[in-house]
Structure 1
Amino acid sequence: MAATIRDVARLAGVSTSTVSRALNAPSCVKHQTLSRIMKAVQECHYVPNTFARNLKTNSSKTIGLLISDISNSHFTSMAKAIETILRENGFSMIVCSTDENPQQELDYLHHMLSSQVDGLILNTTNFNNDQIVEFSSRLPVVLIERNIEEPGFRGDYIGSNNQEGMKEMTQYLLRNGHRKIGLINCETQVSTGRERLQGFVNAMRAAGISAGTDYPYLFDCASFSVENGYTGCAHLMTMEDRPTALLVTNNTLTIGVLKYLRSHQVSVPKDISVMSYGNIENSDLFFVDLGHAALSPYQIGEKAAGCILSRIEKPNLRNREVIFEPVLMTGQSVCSTKG
């Protein structure tokens, strides 16, 4: 039979209320008494009933983190930052990965609500916006990387300046003489996909090049995956008049691109120039020093954690937006060409 708080109190020689105070607010209990209670907890193998405590306090001290791909180092770094800040403030974290599946996202959202999380940090698929807007009216919500452009949404958005980052990379390729720039992009239903595409289009237009829907070097796919990066690279590299440079809008896609180039003995940058929106973990070990837009996932995570904590404390805060500026890292993966 599991030990109860009464067993701990009896062994420690204190009241059950003192045991409860020691477990929930240890700083309010004398050090000698606290030590005696903690020793009794260990001897009894007592495990607090957090569900019952949640019902009593109307707080689980838990934040739900819902992201598209936990295997992506960008989100792993972000999750680490969020977890660190939350732990320092007495909160724990539930992490779920949607794998870009809208139904999976919706199932996890309902699971988190039924688990009585105190807030949600969300990297949305953008297919359940109506439900998320409704959730935001009764639960603190912070969006990361992907925004929801709905008037009824209540919460914060923390992300990167996608248009500017893509514009800078495109301009760098243009300055090096590239005019036939292949773009591998995905998920234009989410704000990141749309903004990165727009940054590319704007930079090309400024150079007198139309990069609309009839642009021959655009490969658009359904999701940011290694497989789609590989397929996109294969499509562009086997064109009769192939591009001289590849611009890839996500680090996971870029891994697929590099796999294709490596397996087909295509030299970077001698045979093709390549740049990536977002760095790849341990890219210094790659066969090429990859040019990329350096992002700030850890800082985004820290800011998201701070925003969700402040929104829990003050639910009626106005909507806030924090945008981090990417930094262009030119690397050694681009060479000059006559286009």
Structure 2
Amino acid sequence: MSLYQRLTIADIAKLAGVSKTTASMVLNGRAEQYRIAASTVERVRQVAAEHHFQPSTSARLLRSRRSETLGLVIPELSNLAHALLAQTLEALCREAGFQLFIMCSNDQAELETKAVEQLLARQVDGLMLVPCSNNAKLYAKWSKRLPLVLVDRRVIDSNLPFVVTNAEEQVFTLIAQTLAQGVNEIAYFGGQVALSPSVDRLSGYQRAWQSVGKTPDANLIFHRDYQQQSGYAMMADCFKQLGRYPEAVFAASISLLEGALAFINEHDQFKVVPQHLLCFDDHRLLDYMPHPINSIVQDSAQLAQHSLSRIMALLASESIESAWIPARINWRQKPR
């Protein structure tokens, strides 16, 4: 037996001396519609406030077929880009009258499926998802259950709507500008090679080399996942392979940069570093590093706003299109 007392709307009605129907109408905002006396409305609301009572969301869901909740599934909250996305989306959803449920997949397909199933069981009105695979059929199946928008990543060869950063163009610019300074060696540290961020960022990297008539060293292109420890491992592998640090390093996420910097700090205390450090994603702490780091800044606010606006459009049975969100480069080491 529970030690906690859970009041029902019938209890509030009894305490206020009104019928259950009257209490329900008052607490669900329909008092004016049914011309309930102001004094009765005040009495019911006062009793409810004194007992910290809120109407059942389950009952409201049955009446309106809307839960006024949305779901967001991201790989992990320790990823800065996804944490900023979640924080911004939560505030926007609250302003729009929705509660946002946030769940993590740890970039594992099985956990992602469980997270989505739990959100579906809670009958969220819409779902925003950072996919961890290219399983187009699975995501298409979910999109038939509720409004679904892919965020930050798209599913390759799928027509599912997405809102992602136009990464390729800014990576191209960052690498091309670095090569223009006479650099001939840029190690590439990337995440899961099949995911769209990896495809887009690697494409920008390769295009930049092509634009100057050069070919990157395939032995200096590393892929693992976007975890910090992978950045450390790739920096270790690169150093072992060359017997030194490369001229430049491009980390395809700030978590990979953290790992690479951890290796450098552990072994050389930043006394010896690559001449150029480049990164996708940005953080203010990079302003205080002993060596300047040029980074690509994603627009988390625009990613969140465009994602939510598309969910709202789908809820209104409107058609939507995918969106590419521009990014910018934070030049801490300006090209000469």
TM-score by length of 1: 0.88
Structure 2 residue 287 is the aligned partner of structure 1 residue 284: yes
Aligned to 1:137: 144
**Which of 232, 235, 251 matches 2:234?**
232
Q: Report the Cα offset of residue 215 of structure 1.
A: 1.2
Opposite residue 238 of structure 2, the aligned amino acid is L
Aligned to 2:314: 311
Distance across 1 between alignment mates of 2:149 and 2:39: 41
CA contact (8 A) 1:167 1:200 kept: yes
Q: Deviations over 1:120-149 (max 9, x none)?
A: 000000254312101112310111111124
Q: Report the Cα offset of residue 109 of structure 1.
A: 1.2
Task: Map 1:120-199 to 2 at 5 A.
Answer: 120-151=127-158, 153=160, 156-199=161-204
Opposite residue 4 of structure 1, the aligned amino acid is T
Distance across 1 between alignment mates of 2:239 and 2:50: 67
Distance across 1 between alignment mates of 2:31 and 2:307: 28
CA contact (8 A) 1:73 1:281 kept: no
Distance across 2 between alignment mates of 1:31 and 1:279: 55
Question: Could you say what secondary structure the match of 1:95 adopts?
Answer: strand
Distance across 1 between alignment mates of 2:260 and 2:313: 41
Q: Report the Cα offset of residue 35 of structure 1.
A: 4.4
Which consecutive residues of structure 2, in runs of 5 or more, have no partner in the other structure?
Answer: none
Q: Report the Cα offset of residue 41 of structure 1.
A: 1.2
Q: Deviations over 1:239-284 (max 9, x none)?
A: 1375200011111111111111122226488643101011135333
Distance across 2 between alignment mates of 1:323 and 1:139: 23
CA contact (8 A) 1:81 1:299 kept: no
**TM-aligned CA distance change 1:241 to 1:234, over 3 Å:** closer
CA contact (8 A) 2:228 2:256 kept: yes
Relative contact order, CA 8 A, sep 6+: which one is greater?
1
CA contact (8 A) 2:220 2:238 kept: yes
Opposite residue 251 of structure 1, the aligned amino acid is I
Aligned to 1:322: 323
Structure 2 residue 90 is the aligned partner of structure 1 residue 86: no
Q: Deviations over 1:2-40 (max 9, x none)?
A: 321122223334443443344433795887655433321
TM-score by length of 2: 0.89
Q: Report the Cα offset of residue 228 of structure 1.
A: 0.4
Question: Could you say what secondary structure the match of 1:282 adopts?
Answer: helix
CA contact (8 A) 2:28 2:55 kept: no
Distance across 1 between alignment mates of 2:187 and 2:269: 15
**Which of 210, 214, 229 matches 1:209?**
214
Structure 2 residue 81 is the aligned partner of structure 1 residue 74: yes
**TM-aligned CA distance change 1:256 to 1:110, over 3 Å:** same
Distance across 2 between alignment mates of 1:257 and 1:287: 15
| Percent of aligned pairs with the same amino acid | 23
Opposite residue 192 of structure 2, the aligned amino acid is E
Aligned to 1:57: 64
Distance across 2 between alignment mates of 1:283 and 1:249: 15
Distance across 1 between alignment mates of 2:174 and 2:208: 9
Distance across 2 between alignment mates of 1:2 and 1:15: 19
Q: Report the Cα offset of residue 59 of structure 1.
A: 1.7
Task: Give the RMSD, CA atoms, in angstroms.
Answer: 2.5
Q: Report the Cα offset of residue 299 of structure 1.
A: 2.2
**Which of 11, 22, 25 matches 2:29?**
25
Opposite residue 176 of structure 2, the aligned amino acid is Q
Distance across 1 between alignment mates of 2:75 and 2:134: 12
Aligned to 1:95: 102
Structure 2 residue 258 is the aligned partner of structure 1 residue 255: yes
**TM-aligned CA distance change 1:151 to 1:290, over 3 Å:** closer
CA contact (8 A) 1:65 1:94 kept: yes
**TM-aligned CA distance change 1:311 to 1:20, over 3 Å:** farther
Distance across 1 between alignment mates of 2:272 and 2:151: 33
Question: Could you say what secondary structure the match of 2:313 adopts?
Answer: helix
Q: Report the Cα offset of residue 151 of structure 1.
A: 4.7
Q: Report the Cα offset of residue 291 of structure 1.
A: 1.0
Distance across 1 between alignment mates of 2:32 and 2:264: 62
Opposite residue 296 of structure 1, the aligned amino acid is D
